Amino acid sequence: MTSQDEEDWPEGLAEALRREAARPPATSPEEAARRVRARIQPRRQARAWLVPATAAAALAVVLTLSLFTSQEPAPSPAEPAAHVIGPLPDNTVLWWIDPQTPVYFVVAPPAPDSGGPS
């Protein structure tokens, strides 16, 4: 410590730190090393089954939730609005994508007697 540092400290603090540093340690170095080694030693793996069991349970929960959330409810057997559409010509096919979406496919040119363009 420089003399400038000692001037910035409160009076008597530097001397108290010197006295504390001169004291013998409360625990011997051998005992302190033994305690540290005991704390950092890997513990026995008595519960080695816990990690795989937790992973299996989490996987089961995820799969179960994905089954229930990915299934869309079956569409209600709603009648297509055939009475609104009216009769279709013979060369037209109607597909319903869902109850609100009709798709019309014309599969052949109109018949000559149906009044189509000549």
Residue 44 or residue 39, greater confidence:
39
Whole-prediction pTM value?
A: 0.27
Long-range contacts of range 86-94, CB-CB < 8 Å, 24 or more positions apart? 89/114
**pLDDT confidence of 13, banded at 50, 70, 90?**
confident
Side-chain half-sphere exposure of 116, counting CA atoms within 13 A: 9
- pLDDT for residue 118: 47
Quote the CA–CA distance of 6 and 22 in Å, as a whole number: 18
Q: Is the pLDDT of residue 7 over 70?
A: no
Q: Is the pLDDT of residue 28 over 80?
A: yes
Domain-wise residue ranges, the chain: 82-109
